Structure 1
Amino acid sequence: MAQRLFHASVGLKLHWQVVMLIAVCTAPSRAMHQPHLKHPIHVCQPGDIHLGGLFPVHFGIESETSGFLSHPLTAECIGFNFRGTRWLMAMMFAVEQINNNWALLPNVTLGYKLSDTCNTICKALEATLAIIIGNFRENHLWGSPTCGGFNTLGVVGATGSSASMAVANLLSLFNVPQVSYASSSRLLSNRQQYQTFLRTVPSDDQQSAALADIVHHFGWTWIGVVSSDDEYGRPGIESFRNHAEANGVCVEFANAISRYDSPEDVQTVANIISNSTTNVIVAFASGTDLEHLMLEIVRRGLANRTWIASDGWSTSSLVARPGSFNILGGTLGLALPEGHIPGFRDYLLRTHPNRWPENHFIKQLWEFTFNCTWRDDKQNGMQIADKEGPTLSTSKENGHEVPGWPFCTGKENLSAVETPFLKYEALRVTYSVYQAVYTIAYALHSTMSQCHHQETCDTPQRPKLRGNFYGNDGISMSFNAMGRPHHLYSIINWQADGENIHFQVVGQYNGRAFPGNRLQLNHSKIVWNGGHSEVPYSHCSSPCPPGTRKGLLKGVPYCCFKCQPCTDGKFSNETDASNCEPCHDDFWPSSNRTTCLPKNIEFLSWKETIGVLLTLSSVLGASLTIFFAFIFLKYRQTPIVKASNRDLCILILFALFCCFLSALLFIGRPSPANCKLRQPAFVISFTVCVSCMLVKTHHVLWAFNERMPGRKHSANKRRRQVFLVIPYTAVQVGICAMWLILSPPFLDPQSSKGTICLICNEGSPIGLVSVLGYLFLLACFCFLMAFRARKLPENFNEAKLITFSMLVFFIVWLSFVPTYISARGKLIAAVEAMAILASAYGVLGCAFVHRCYIILFRSELNTVEEVRCCTAAHTFKRAARANLRQAKVSQKRQLYGSSASEHSTASKPNASDQLYSVSGDGFTTLT
């Protein structure tokens, strides 16, 4: 381009001084004594605009230990990295494609300067300084044809998060955009600190969530964790633990490792893993940091453990060695999605040192692929590494080649050998590099298009890396405001492929999907450690079966627990339940506490033995009552029936009939109406019974103590006695009505173990005490009056029979009170029914059995003459007693000088000693 697009401003001169100071401080001191490094770490291609590239062509560095009194030694790169070289070639291929695309960056040729970071921070900074220095040389254009001083408007890399952080801090000083193809640390999402940093891989926040979801998906709750001791491992494993612990996962051990750990440190971590009880270990680390630990794990033969790999080592050739499959087979890991780069395989197959004679990395690739050396390297020492992974240091001493390594002829064929460089089946990081280059290219294209419409572009124009971009394969690459791409991972499973390890894709994780749909796994494709198809078991404690719950143990993680059976009334229907759920009120847990069953409804059933007995007793009592009533009605004109006041007797029998039937209300399934009727039905009917006996007793006393002899007792007088029962009964009815209105009895289901007992709650205790108290009060009055009349004629001896009836009533109900209080459940109804029946039978037996016996079997006693004889005998007996008593009084008075008139007065018979006879309507005077 003819127009000048970029020049250094005065303010950038200060930055240039800072860069020079950093360069001087970081340059090896030994370089002052050597004119050049042993091997160049850069490869460049001139162009109008240049992109920097940072790639780990070697696995690490090796340096001799030097003290403070000697010059610092230059760090040498060791361990040739075939995959890192393929990544570098992917950038070269992408730049070549872009230059051949007339629609992208027209009239502009992209150049590059690619550097080897040796997988370390210091080499990454050294390479970055070498790239940036060209931006601040005076008097140059974008289209400078040399690599010595060119304009770099973007950097692709680095690989590790720690290296990318250091590079990002340096590039941000000069506002140079950086797009990493493998750095995933969540710390790089800080836009305030890393303003010019973007990446084509998801953040570790998503990776941590994905790993936690995998652990949770398989139900593992007891795991160990290992992480790199750097900016990749520490934040990543911290985020993972937060996600995992939120899912109820416990961590047995957590250890940090580093590639710089001593053998003793590696042994310590290996011992912890060997002594652990977990079967699942999550490793959030890079392959270089994990290499030495895995070699020790394989050496010890620590099998039967499932490893969960982060993307830092899930496809690493340093760990996935053929000899380690027996120990590490079945590993599940996260990896970047596979990508397809059209034409890239052919591009790799055309790789040859003659094609790029200045590209020292391709020469090294050739040497370590074919185990040969180039003749033109005699004058230089060489660090040779075993292509299979571990570094094997060898050197060319005094210009002589190492025995066994022939000279390279250049006729070797890459397609004829098996090398990781050509492993094209799953391009993951390689495709990410490809996307990163196209991302910067499209951003430059957009920026230069805007600049083209301006008159001049004398100010620096950096590419704006935001929005959506489309690669040569038509796949969209988008960045949000935080510089993050889409959150998508492939889930791979380490499976055997002959002597090698094959990374089989068994699912994917989409962080943008709804929770619950993010993890997709094909379980049929997974092969676990040892070739098993069953999911490994990893729990601190055995799962608690349904019917139990997890009981936490003091001083241990909550994943370690003791299974405790659910308590009464609770159940659990799932494995490893944290709590037992209570059953509803009408349900009760099954015997194994796994479900709730309807409770057995318990009440005094008609089918139970006690229910049948009470029913028979009630029916028998009612039948006897009807029978006695029939006898009294049939023989109503006989003297004994007349003397008993047949109207009151029929009323008593009717009341007893109701009492017997009221006992049936206490049997069977209670209902709200049943509860309200049972107590009033009994107390009212029995009140009628007691009131009738009270009136009869009072009438007998009145009849034998009447002081107006000769007065006839009409039928109206007899019937009037029936109406005297009404006031006594009305009081009881009133009490019952107030009870039912204010606080009536109600159905009260009472739950207990496995049963619901249907009982009637009496509502207000005052109501129950009031009705029974009134009934007891009437019984007391009746008993007292009957006791006074106990010595009347035997054929009129109502009082004696009533006395016995009331005694039975008192005994029954005094026994009832403590029994009622101590009874529980359906026995309460049984106790009440028995008390009612006993009271009714007591009255029926004492008041009517004797009379019916005389009527039916002793008819000679049921005559007027017999009644008169008994009455006369009773009257004469009373008169004799009265005369004797008067005689004794007279003798006492004579002794004390009493007058004769008083004696004659005292000797007159009392009106009460007159004889009475029974008529059809009552009592008549005999003398």
Structure 2
Amino acid sequence: KVPWLLTYLNVIGVVYIITRYEVIYHRDCDTGNVVIAGLFPLHYISDRPDNYSLEDTPAPLICRRYNFLGFRWMQAMIFAIQEVNNRTDLLPNVTLGWELFDTCNTHARAVTQALNVVDSINKQPKSMKLRCYHQLICISALIGPTASDKSIIVSNILSVFDIPQISYGATSRLLSDKNVFSSFLRTIPNDDEQATAMVDLLLHHNWTWVGAVAGDDDYGRPGISRFKEEAAKRGICVEYTAYVSESMSPDLLYQTAHEIKNYNATVFVTFISATHLVPLARHLRDQNVTDKVWIASEAWATSDSVLFIFAADVFSGTLGIATRGGDMPGFRSFLEGVSPSTQPGSPFMKEFWEKTFQCSCPPSICQLSEHDSDLSTHNEYNDNCTGKEDFTDSGTASSAYLGWTDLEKSYNVYLAVYVVASALHNISTCVEGEGLLKDGGCPSLNNLTTWQLLAYIKEVNFYPPGHDYQFNFNENGDPNASYKLVSWVPQLNAQGDVTIAFVHVGNYSCMAKPKWSMNDSAIYWRSENKEVIPESVCNGDCPPGYYTIQLQSACCFKCVECPTGEYSTSTNSPICLACNRTFRADDNRTGCIPKYEEYIRWGDAFGITFSVLSAVGIIITIFTAGSFIKMRGTPLVKATNRELSFLLFFSVACCFLTPLLYVGKPQDWNCKGRTVSFSLSFTFCIAAILVKTLRVLTAFEARIPVTYKKWLGEHVQVFVVMVVSLVQVVLSVAWLVVEPPNVVVTESKVGTAVVVECNVGNVVIMGFVYGYLCLLALTAFVFAFRARKLPENFNEAKFITFSMLIFFIVWLSFIPAYLSTNSTNSTAVSCIAILASTFSLLACIFFPKLYVLYVTPQRNTVEEVRQNTANHAIRTS
């Protein structure tokens, strides 16, 4: 109890001190069974007179710069109360009254009026009670004030006494803390959801690099802090933050405007009231800062004070996040009907009428109560008012009062009245046992306390007039967030002046998915191309073909070209992707194209050369075979064993065909074919040569028994060739079955190409295949070398020795050449070796015979053969 008592005594002391200094035109009232207080900023500032001193009793604060919007908000409260009083379905036996105060948009006046409300409710001594035309009144709840900083001060006082406070314009997130502001509620969403809506709006337009301007007060600092928290979570960076107030020096304001002009960010998010923004706006206009896109918080999203002075110069193209208002049927007619006769005795009406029509309102027209007679202003105008002036002739003042700018706050005031009325209605219809008090108890309207009313206000759930949605508060005293997006579109009026139209271009609801729905085509962009959305990023996008390197700021990056062989297809790609090994990045590095495939093509020099040489070899082979057929009756041809010779012709022809399998793109079938063709062709060929050599050797070798020589007959020789070759056939089949050669693609030394080639398959079997072929060749060479001097068939063994010697030289040279070249050239080396060894066999074995057949046919006789044999016998005897 002690802390509460000390707080109460402090309040009483402050009330006693402050109420000694009355503010001019401080209140307006109308009695009723239940009275609702309202705090409204009918002036923008208040200060002391120029001759203020403490040598005498301090002069009262003087409120300056009339606020027509504040008066309209006040009228919205009167309109709502009168509407409730005229309804028969809502509080039928209760009349609502009002007590209205002017805060002058200052903390001091807001505190003064809040303490007056506390005094009324807590029944202080009679001299301290509020009077409404000589009647003592008791206030049940308070609506207002508008700004967050004033609401915080007022709530700090009212929350001590559990007096319900419903603000229509305070959005600070601080006010959602019910541990501190326990009796505070509002009909406008808090800044937490507004900050989220701003971030969603930025991301919708891909704005990730922004500036921020906030009021240096309890509205701006918490609001911009919440925005920056949400922005950081979702990848938006704030380049610059400025805190502004109306009390800043001109030098600081000039410097702030200069910094805003020079920063890179195009979009500036604001959490600031119009009062704080106006001084900065003057400097923005003077420095021609016209290339920024402003995101206006609800405090000035549809503000006349900024609109009329600076909108066309500085703020056209602004996107304002305004609270969504509602229809108030009859409200415009009510505003147009307001006059001194409809609200007699109101000091606020007197000043409003004089400021609107630039005339002095005499006491006969603007009647003041005896209590307020000392509060009249000095006559500022020469002409007297008639009380029947027409709003259509009042120019700017009428536009500010009757225009639909900032209509949302008027609706929020209207809604706040219905919150109190709904709570009172629920109390009046409460059934014992179903109430909100202990054990289901119901409070009495005749003895209602503020804490009881607060309990019912927190639980209201009603349909606002003319709407199909239910209004209620969450646990923090906040309504569900709902905003509209307005675009500030410049247009010419009838006088040719540039004015601003608020175009409704989108809606936001915290309950919807997606939360924003907007018509982008209706938004006005202040740029050369009105259809192009301005950019607000730290740096330009990295095009495809580049990747980003993050810099110190999360929103800034460096563009780096993708490395060779890699690509990126998207804008601002964080990485580059490697192409498949058979593909390479294109010149722009934005995609993959097939790599050049390295292999011997038919049209290449190698391909043409090998094809021609193979064809020549086959033609020569066919010609030689034809010659043998044509001259098959001659001694030379008969001595060669025709079956074995034609088997040799066939084998040589196959050897000439083998290089053709190395030309063209390798595929599995020709990889297998070239291996089998090479091994079997040369095996049959060398096997035939081996048998030929063996036959010559046995014909002249006396140590060989006669019975063995019979085994080397013509038909037996062919059989031997087949048997010897069968081993190679078995090895080749095993090679194809176990692990056959197939196509492989390998990287070329040139990064833009790949080598398509055949691998060897099973290395072990390959070793046996080539080893067996070498064994046959070596055996044939040994036998041929032994028979090199024998005269059989015109020294055939000698030429076989030459052919085997060339064969070994070719393939021994092939090994280092093959290993020292790249894949494509190694294939060419293989073809050269095959052709060279085949031509050597054909030339050494058959060309001497062709020479005899066509050049020296006189030697192709039986006598010549016998003579050669006889000569050999004589030499060896």
TM norm. shorter chain > 0.5: yes
Report Cα offsets for 1:44-91 as digits up to 9, x if no partner: 222222222222222233358999999998654332211111101101
Displacement after TM superposition at 1:787 (Å): 2.8
Matches of 1:432 and 1:362, distance apart in 2: 22
- The one-letter code matched in structure 2 to 1:136 is N
Match of 2:29 among 38, 44, 53: 44
Change (3 A) 1:622 1:225: same
Change (3 A) 1:446 1:803: farther
Match of 2:10 among 18, 21, 27: 21
- The one-letter code matched in structure 2 to 1:59 is Y
Please say if residues 660 and 840 of structure 1, whose CA atoms lie closer than 8 Å, have aligned partners that are also in contact. Answer: yes
SS in 2 for 1:501: strand
Matches of 1:226 and 1:275, distance apart in 2: 14
Matches within 5 A, 1:595-634: 595-598=591-594, 603-634=599-630
Task: Say whether 1:703 aligns with 2:699.
Answer: yes
Please say if residues 570 and 593 of structure 1, whose CA atoms lie closer than 8 Å, have aligned partners that are also in contact. Answer: yes
In structure 1, the residue matched to 2:394 is: 417
Identity of aligned residues (%): 35
Change (3 A) 1:869 1:23: farther
Change (3 A) 1:236 1:765: farther
- The one-letter code matched in structure 2 to 1:680 is V
Report Cα offsets for 1:144-188 as digits up to 9, x if no partner: 998976554433223222333333344333333333222223343
Matches of 2:612 and 2:352, distance apart in 1: 109
Report Cα offsets for 1:70-123 as digits up to 9, x if no partner: 999865433221111110110111011101111101201112222223323443
Task: Say whether 1:306 aligns with 2:290.
Answer: no
- The one-letter code matched in structure 2 to 1:44 is C
Match of 1:326 among 313, 317, 331: 313
In structure 2, the residue matched to 1:433 is: 413
Matches of 1:506 and 1:649, distance apart in 2: 101
Greater shift in the superposed pair: 169-178 or 68-77:
68-77
Structure 2: gaps of 5 or more residues: 365-373, 435-440
Please say if residues 250 and 558 of structure 1, whose CA atoms lie closer than 8 Å, have aligned partners that are also in contact. Answer: yes
Displacement after TM superposition at 1:750 (Å): 4.0
Matches within 5 A, 1:150-165: 150-165=137-152
In structure 2, the residue matched to 1:875 is: 873
Displacement after TM superposition at 1:701 (Å): 3.2
Report Cα offsets for 1:854-893 as digits up to 9, x if no partner: 22332222222212222222222223xxxxxxxxxxxxxx
Which of the pair has more CA radius of gyration?
1
Structure 1: gaps of 5 or more residues: 1-10, 378-396, 880-927
Matches of 2:59 and 2:746, distance apart in 1: 90
Matches of 1:626 and 1:526, distance apart in 2: 88
Task: Say whether 1:471 aligns with 2:451.
Answer: no
Report Cα offsets for 1:340-394 as digits up to 9, x if no partner: 32222222223233443443222221232233445669xxxxxxxxxxxxxxxxx
Matches of 1:868 and 1:457, distance apart in 2: 150
Task: Say whether 1:176 aligns with 2:195.
Answer: no
SS in 2 for 1:430: helix
Change (3 A) 1:860 1:520: same
Report Cα offsets for 1:815-863 as digits up to 9, x if no partner: 4334433444554444333332222222112211221332233222222
Matches of 2:672 and 2:375, distance apart in 1: 119
SS in 1 for 2:248: coil
Please say if residues 28 and 73 of structure 1, whose CA atoms lie closer than 8 Å, have aligned partners that are also in contact. Answer: no
Matches within 5 A, 1:466-545: 466=459, 468-479=461-472, 481-482=474-475, 483-498=478-493, 499=497, 501-512=499-510, 518-524=516-522, 526-528=524-526, 532=530, 534-545=532-543
- The one-letter code matched in structure 2 to 1:691 is A
In structure 1, the residue matched to 2:839 is: 841
Please say if residues 200 and 485 of structure 1, whose CA atoms lie closer than 8 Å, have aligned partners that are also in contact. Answer: no
- The one-letter code matched in structure 1 to 2:88 is W
- The one-letter code matched in structure 1 to 2:735 is W
Matches within 5 A, 1:738-777: 738-750=734-746, 757-777=755-775
SS in 1 for 2:264: coil
Matches of 1:211 and 1:501, distance apart in 2: 26
Report Cα offsets for 1:462-490 as digits up to 9, x if no partner: 22434642223335342353432242323
Matches of 1:182 and 1:869, distance apart in 2: 134
Report Cα offsets for 1:276-325 as digits up to 9, x if no partner: 23333222211112121111111222222322222222222332234552
Please say if residues 19 and 129 of structure 1, whose CA atoms lie closer than 8 Å, have aligned partners that are also in contact. Answer: no
In structure 1, the residue matched to 2:346 is: 359
In structure 2, the residue matched to 1:61 is: 46
Change (3 A) 1:671 1:375: same
Matches of 1:268 and 1:570, distance apart in 2: 48
Displacement after TM superposition at 1:266 (Å): 1.5
Matches within 5 A, 1:253-272: 253-272=240-259
SS in 1 for 2:247: coil
- State the TM-score, normalizing by the size of structure 2: 0.86
Matches of 1:426 and 1:288, distance apart in 2: 14
Change (3 A) 1:236 1:837: farther
Report Cα offsets for 1:125-157 as digits up to 9, x if no partner: 3322322332222899xxx99897655443322
Matches within 5 A, 1:330-479: 330-373=317-360, 401=378, 406=383, 408-418=385-395, 419=397, 420-424=400-404, 427-451=407-431, 457=443, 460=449, 461-462=452-453, 463-466=456-459, 468-479=461-472
Matches of 1:215 and 1:457, distance apart in 2: 49
Matches of 1:779 and 1:73, distance apart in 2: 130
- The one-letter code matched in structure 2 to 1:443 is A
Matches of 1:680 and 1:27, distance apart in 2: 117
SS in 2 for 1:320: helix
Please say if residues 213 and 519 of structure 1, whose CA atoms lie closer than 8 Å, have aligned partners that are also in contact. Answer: no
In structure 2, the residue matched to 1:94 is: 80
Please say if residues 477 and 485 of structure 1, whose CA atoms lie closer than 8 Å, have aligned partners that are also in contact. Answer: no
In structure 2, the residue matched to 1:591 is: 587
In structure 2, the residue matched to 1:692 is: 688
SS in 2 for 1:446: helix
In structure 2, the residue matched to 1:206 is: 193
Displacement after TM superposition at 1:532 (Å): 4.8
- The one-letter code matched in structure 2 to 1:106 is P
Matches of 2:608 and 2:641, distance apart in 1: 36
SS in 1 for 2:471: strand
Change (3 A) 1:150 1:503: same
Matches of 1:150 and 1:125, distance apart in 2: 20
In structure 1, the residue matched to 2:640 is: 644
Matches of 1:473 and 1:120, distance apart in 2: 35
SS in 1 for 2:269: strand
Change (3 A) 1:329 1:698: same
Matches of 1:69 and 1:846, distance apart in 2: 139
- The one-letter code matched in structure 2 to 1:100 is N
Matches of 2:298 and 2:818, distance apart in 1: 78
In structure 2, the residue matched to 1:294 is: 281
